[in-house]
């Protein structure tokens, strides 16, 4: 099981791969859309890559609740395994 | 309103001979071949009967970011590279977005994306299909991405007419300026179809050369030993600009884009009409619309793909169009070096025609050892041919499966 810090850095790698954003920019309080400028198509790719990396299923209905990086890290942490 | 004239002020390309148009033209003048072996793994896995192709000289990763590569099909990547280079070569003209247009065609479109994503769907399921799969595989993906990159808002078009796409797109750009829809248009063609499936398809048509023991000698237009074309990839783009607009900003003008002629064969889906009736009509229309006489044409950059039937049909069409005057039109078949870039071919050869007029030199055709007696044309071989001083015009032919015929006329300025 990955801890919060491991999930955050794994997610930052995925975001970097998809958007080219510096992984250091990907912080818990950042909003995917407002701060990181990630569109819905990129978000889909990030979600699917995160599912694969952390062995978690993130239903499409849940994606809209993941407004910040922290929301995603929290969801992954409590649903992985 | 007086007639708007269209001139060429910038050139950009990424081709089997180089990552820039300058390197590519240098390769043409040096008589280099762009042929390279296909990956060994492909040959083993798919048992392809052809073992080589003219793949691009510079991988896009040397120019584009990792994210740009992930989010664009290779056909769009090549087009964006060529379009940026062309705009830079034009001196980065300042033009309002609403007066800047795009016309970039392709023969096949995002075939790599289509087939990769189909593999992913079958192996990993629908959730793993890339959300950008559709905008990456659509045939206008290159035009859309170029428009986005340049902020071009006058209109973005993709003409699709197989191997005439690149030439026809340049014609579309020319018409946009003539009609007053734009002052500057980035126009050309792109293709990235060196994938086992199209390769196998062309092989099954018996369209490709199988000269596996001599890849550099495989593309041999007009030679009696020719046995098909050599597949190639890349993109070529020119900046077309309204003449007064170019003059006002002191732009370097390579040549004038004087006219386009087009026709359709309605004869057979792939075979050219053997007497060249349709092709000759396109050529005549181009020359007449440019207000020129046959004697003004001092050079032809031919379509000449190195297929046994196609080369003869084009030669017949040239004779049919110009009769004895064709004796004064020395012909270059540059596919002998670049291979056949399909939807980018007409665009790249359009650039070569511009450079020939600009530098007054028509390149020699390579691999021409024994001229087919059925070819009654003055084919340039051995040495390049100097073009005369003064006002000159050159013709560029492109033809595509589906019976598309496109002829461009480029004149000196």
B89-105 residue pLDDT tens:
999 999 999 999 999 99
At which residue do the structure tokens 């550099």 appear?
B216
Distance of alpha carbon B30 from the chain centroid? 20
How many C-beta neighbours within 10 Å does residue B305 have?
Answer: 26
Of B71, B395, B341, B77, nearest to B229 (Cα)? B341
Is residue B1 over pLDDT 60?
no
Q: What is the pLDDT of residue A1?
A: 78
Q: What is the DSSP pairing of strand B6-14 with strand B234-242?
A: antiparallel
Among B126, B131, B132, which would you mutate to test the A interface (most chain A Cβ atoms within 10 Å of its Cβ)?
B131
The domain of A34 spans 4-79
- Can you give the CATH number for the domain in which A53 is found? 1.10.1200.10
List residues of A whose CB lies inside 8 A of any B CB.
17-20, 41-42, 44-45, 48, 51
Q: How far is A48 from chain B (nearest CA, A)?
A: 7
Q: What is the pLDDT of residue A53?
A: 94
Residues of chain B numbered 79-138 and touching chain A (CB < 8 Å): 127-128, 130-132
Measure the CA–CA gap between A35 and A50, rounded to whole angstroms: 20
Minimal-distance CA residue of chain B relative to A60: B127
Q: How far is B65 from chain A (nearest CA, A)?
A: 8
Of B337, B364, B332, B111, nearest to B230 (Cα)? B337
Q: What is the pLDDT of residue B65?
A: 94
Question: Does A39 participate in catalysis according to the annotation?
Answer: yes
DSSP B409: E
Q: Which of B22-26, B81-85, B126-130 has the weakest average pLDDT?
A: B126-130
Q: How confident is the model at residue A2 (pLDDT cuts 50, 70, 90)?
A: confident
pLDDT digits (tens, 9 = 90+) for B383-398: 999 999 999 999 999 9
Q: Nearest by CB to B130, which of A20, A45, A51?
A: A45
> What average pLDDT does chain B have?
97
Q: How far is B232 from chain A (nearest CA, A)?
A: 30
pLDDT digits (tens, 9 = 90+) for B150-188: 999 999 999 999 999 999 999 999 999 999 999 999 999
Measure the CA–CA gap between B164 and B228, rounded to whole angstroms: 18
Of B102, B262, B84, B256, nearest to B176 (Cα)? B102
B199-202, long-range: CB < 8 A, 24+ apart: B199/B38, B199/B48, B199/B50, B199/B53, B199/B231, B200/B46, B200/B48, B202/B231
Dihedrals phi, psi of B185, to nearest 5 degrees: -135, 135
Of B37, B338, B71, B70, nearest to B189 (Cα)? B338
Dihedrals phi, psi of B385, to nearest 5 degrees: -110, 130
Of B274, B379, B261, B368, nearest to B316 (Cα)? B274
Of B168, B169, B164, nearest to B142 (Cα)? B169
Which pTM was predicted? 0.95
Instruction: Look up residue B240 and give its two tokens.
Output: 């077309």
pLDDT digits (tens, 9 = 90+) for B126-147: 999 999 999 999 999 999 999 9
Residues 6+ apart with CB under 8 A from B12: B20, B21, B81, B82, B83, B84, B85, B86, B87, B88, B89, B188, B236, B237, B238, B239
Domains contained in chain B, CATH given: 6-248 (3.40.47.10), 260-411 (3.40.47.10)
How many distinct structural domains can be found in chain A?
A: 1
Among B65, B120, B126, B127, which would you mutate to test the A interface (most chain A Cβ atoms within 10 Å of its Cβ)?
B127
């Amino acid at each position: 099981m990955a801890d919060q810090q491991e999930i955050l850095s794994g997610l930052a790698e995925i975001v970097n791969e998809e958007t080219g954003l510096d992984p250091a920019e990907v912080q818990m309080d950042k909003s995917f859309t407002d701060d990181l400028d990630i569109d819905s198509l990129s978000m889909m790719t990030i979600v699917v890559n995160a599912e694969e990396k952390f062995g978690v299923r993130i239903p499409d209905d849940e994606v809209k609740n993941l407004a910040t990086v922290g929301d995603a890290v929290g969801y992954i942490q409590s649903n992985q395994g | 309103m007086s007639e708007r004239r269209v001139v060429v002020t910038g050139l950009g390309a990424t081709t089997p001979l180089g990552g820039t148009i300058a390197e590519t033209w240098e390769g043409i003048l040096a008589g280099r071949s762009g042929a390279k072996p296909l990956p060994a793994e492909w040959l083993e896995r798919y048992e392809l009967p052809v073992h080589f192709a003219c793949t691009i000289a510079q991988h896009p990763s040397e120019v584009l970011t990792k994210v740009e590569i992930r989010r664009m099909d290779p056909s769009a990547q090549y087009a964006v590279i060529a379009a940026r280079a062309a705009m830079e070569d034009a001196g980065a003209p300042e033009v309002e977005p609403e007066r800047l247009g795009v016309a970039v065609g392709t023969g096949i479109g995002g075939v790599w994306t289509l087939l990769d994503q189909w593999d992913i769907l079958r192996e990993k399921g629908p959730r793993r299909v890339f959300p950008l799969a559709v905008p990456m595989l659509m045939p206008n993906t290159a035009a859309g991405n170029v428009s986005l990159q340049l902020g071009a808002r006058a209109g973005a078009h993709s003409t699709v007419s197989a191997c005439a796409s690149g030439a026809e797109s340049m014609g579309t750009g020319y018409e946009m300026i003539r009609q007053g829809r734009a002052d500057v248009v980035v126009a050309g063609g792109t293709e990235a179809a060196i994938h086992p499936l199209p390769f196998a398809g062309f092989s099954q048509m018996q369209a490709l050369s199988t000269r596996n023991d001599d890849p550099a000698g495989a593309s041999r237009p007009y030679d009696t030993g020719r046995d098909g074309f050599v597949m190639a990839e890349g993109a070529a783009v020119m900046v077309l600009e309204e003449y007064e607009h170019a003059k006002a900003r002191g732009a370097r003008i390579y040549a004038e884009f004087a006219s386009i002629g087009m026709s359709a064969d309605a004869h057979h889906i792939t075979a050219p009409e053997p007497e060249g009736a349709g092709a000759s009509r396109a050529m005549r229309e181009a020359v007449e619309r440019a207000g020129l006489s046959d004697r003004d044409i001092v050079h032809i950059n031919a379509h000449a793909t190195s297929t046994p039937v196609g080369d003869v049909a084009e030669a017949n069409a040239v004779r049919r169009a110009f009769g004895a005057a064709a004796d004064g039109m020395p012909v270059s078949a540059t596919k002998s070096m670049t291979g056949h870039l399909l939807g980018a071919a007409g665009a790249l050869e359009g650039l070569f025609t511009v450079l020939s007029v600009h530098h007054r030199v028509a390149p020699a055709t390579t691999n021409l050892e024994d001229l087919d007696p059925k070819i009654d044309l003055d084919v340039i071989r051995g040495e390049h041919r100097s073009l005369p001083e003064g006002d000159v015009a050159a013709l560029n032919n492109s033809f595509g499966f589906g019976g598309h015929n496109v002829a461009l006329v480029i004149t000196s300025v």
